[in-house]
């Protein structure tokens, strides 16, 4: 059987089938998306980067694509990816609009999870077509990121008239569009950060503790366990809860806290916070028996740190731990 004929990239918005692509901000995300778009038939033509690391990444991921200023990126590209940190995005957009760098009809795409398209309003008033396409994926800044985009969900926010164009771009990069309302973007992003970013912290802490306990290959030990836990959680939600907290084993939890205080006191606050949350969810879903929950919650509530904060991670910080 002959291989299916590969069609040209779709053009639901009436724009040219092959777009010239520019990247402003050569962090881990931008070059990977540009490479994915190149595989779909688009043409990366310009990239900007500030640090030496980002410039080297751009040269590695997008060879032969010239490194230029952000204004020159917009001058050369029909589709511009703004892949800068969230806090830098509003100022970047305002600056580009004020200097006249934005051209009417130009597709301006940011990849921030926090923002929808409102942050692009200064550019929209200059005639740009605004899209928010956030890949729900962690990036390494290497070629493997392009492969990981296959089947990756993108949080998409776009004006109604650009929804088809947004969908087409995501699909061309190998992703799956998931529509997020403008007002829901911060909550959407918080959910992803809670799951992905905090997971890295938890895994890193667990590996450190296993090394302290004498385990030679903590990654090997945790891999199957965490893989099964993640799969069970995605399939069954709270029904997948297991372990001493869900069982109401207060004595084991108390022993955990005691050992953590001796060997890794920096992990105690996180352990207590997650144990309380786990107990609350297990109790609410009928997994934790009320008569066992009382002793367990007593251990967690009565636990007192060396600083007298009674296990409250915010009590020692007059700002409540906020940035």
pLDDT at residue 154, as a whole number: 98
What distances in angstroms separate CA 252 from CA 26, 84, 243, 312, one per listed residue?
48, 45, 10, 20
Whether the model pTM is above 0.85: no
Q: Which residues, in sequence order, are CB contacts of 46 under 8 Å at separation 6+? A: 22, 23, 65, 66, 68, 72, 73, 76, 77
Q: Is the pLDDT of residue 313 over 60?
A: no
pLDDT at residue 88 tops 60 = yes
Closest CA to 112 of 80, 134, 81, 90: 134
d(CA 209, CA 193): 23
Helix axis angle, 198-212 relative to 268-284, nearest 10°? Answer: 120
pLDDT band of 15, cuts 50, 70, 90: very low
Q: What is the mean pLDDT of residues 140-149?
A: 94
**Dihedral (Cα; 310, 204, 147, 36), 10-degree rounding:** 60
pLDDT over threshold 70, residue 7: no
- Decide if 88 contacts 65 (C-beta within 8 A): no
Residues in contact with 105: Cβ distance below 8 Å, sequence separation at least 6, in sequence order: 78, 127, 128, 129
Measure the CA–CA gap between 156 and 99, rounded to whole angstroms: 28
Q: What is the average pLDDT across 145-154?
A: 96
Residue 81's pLDDT is 98
Instruction: Tell me if residue 295 falls in helix, strand or coil.
Output: helix
CB 132 within 8 A of CB 169: no
Runs of H (alpha helix) within 85-173 = 89-98, 121-125, 144-148, 163-172
CA gap 282, 279 in Å, rounded: 5
Per-residue pLDDT tens digits for 191-203 = 999 999 999 999 9
Query: Would you say 135 and 154 are in contact if contact means Cβ atoms under 8 Å apart?
Result: yes
Direct distance between the N- and C-terminal alpha carbons of the chain, in angstroms, rounded to an integer: 59
Whole-angstrom distance, CA of residue 275 vs CA of residue 281 = 10
Mean pLDDT to the nearest integer, 216-221: 97
Q: Which pLDDT value is given to residue 301?
A: 86
Task: Count CB atoms within 10 A of the CB of residue 111.
Answer: 24
Percentage of the chain modeled with pLDDT above 90: 85
CB 24 within 8 A of CB 31: no
SS (H, E, C) 126-137: CCCEEEEEEECC
Give the pLDDT of residue 322. 34
| Mean pLDDT over the full length of the chain | 89
Tell whether the model's pLDDT for residue 323 goes beyond 70: no
Cα–Cα dist 284/225, whole Å? 25
């Amino acid at each position: 059987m002959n291989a299916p004929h590969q069609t040209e990239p779709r053009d639901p918005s009436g724009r040219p089938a092959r777009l010239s692509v520019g990247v402003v901000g050569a962090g881990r995300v931008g070059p990977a998306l540009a490479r994915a778009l190149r595989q779909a038939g688009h043409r990366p033509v310009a990239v900007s980067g500030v640090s030496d690391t980002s410039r080297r990444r751009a040269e590695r991921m997008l060879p032969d694509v010239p490194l230029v200023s952000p204004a020159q990126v917009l001058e050369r590209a029909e589709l511009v990816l703004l892949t800068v940190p969230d806090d830098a995005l509003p100022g970047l957009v305002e600056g580009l609009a004020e200097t006249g760098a934005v051209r009417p009809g130009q597709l301006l795409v940011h990849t921030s999870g926090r923002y929808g398209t409102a942050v692009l309003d200064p550019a929209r008033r200059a005639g740009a077509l605004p899209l928010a396409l956030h890949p729900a994926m962690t990036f390494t800044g290497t070629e493997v990121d392009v492969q990981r985009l296959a089947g990756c969900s993108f949080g998409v926010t776009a004006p109604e008239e650009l929804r088809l164009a947004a969908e087409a771009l995501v699909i061309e990069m190998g992703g799956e569009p998931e529509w997020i309302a403008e007002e829901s973007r911060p909550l959407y992003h918080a959910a992803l950060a809670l799951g992905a970013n905090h997971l890295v912290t938890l895994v890193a802490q667990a590996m450190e503790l296993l090394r302290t306990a004498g385990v030679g290959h903590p990654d090997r030990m945790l891999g199957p366990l965490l893989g099964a836990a993640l799969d069970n959680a995605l399939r069954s939600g709270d029904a997948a809860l297991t372990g001493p907290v869900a069982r109401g084993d207060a004595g084991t939890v108390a022993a955990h806290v005691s050992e953590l205080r001796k060997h890794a006191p920096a992990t105690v606050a996180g352990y207590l916070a997650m144990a309380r949350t786990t107990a609350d969810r297990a109790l609410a879903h009928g997994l934790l028996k009320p008569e066992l929950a009382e002793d367990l919650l007593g251990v967690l509530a009565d636990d007192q740190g060396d600083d007298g904060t009674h296990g409250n991670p915010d009590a020692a910080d007059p700002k409540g731990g906020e940035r």
